[in-house]
Amino acid sequence: MNDRNGSRHARTARRRRLSTLFGVAMAFSVTTDAARAASHVETGRALASRLCARCHMVPGQGEKLGANDIPGFAAVAQRRNQTPEGIVAWLRSIPPIMPNHHLSQDEMHALAAYIMTLGAAPRDGPKR
């Protein structure tokens, strides 16, 4: 009977250690993912500042009103159903109205991640 109890206690102790190790690994993973995402957004911000600011980051700039207008990045991020994947697909198409900056896939994803951070503003105007 003692061997059984000892064996049971050993298994329980092993499970607890494994559970603790798993929890620590998950916390590290989440922290690492958050740091990686923040770095990705910062890379996108730097790209936007260097390549796109003159046209898409003008103070007070909103959504384009005509075919030849240029939308601000905040307006792009606030479009209904906008996703990072949608922004990447549009960039990948190399729109003829934009200069071809020869962005890599990683750069496109970083730029899209940054643009999406600008969508935090309310999508609707003030309520009346």
Q: What is the pTM of this model?
A: 0.66
Distance CA 16, CA 11 (A): 9
Residues 3-52: pLDDT tens digits?
Answer: 555 677 677 777 777 677 666 666 655 566 666 777 889 999 999 999 99
Q: What is the pLDDT of residue 28?
A: 58
3-state class of 74 per DSSP?
helix
The pLDDT tens digits for 38-91 are: 788 999 999 999 999 888 888 888 888 776 688 999 999 999 999 999 999 999
Domain ranges, ordered by start, for the chain:
2-120
Tell me: domain 2-120, CATH 2.60.40, correct?
A: no
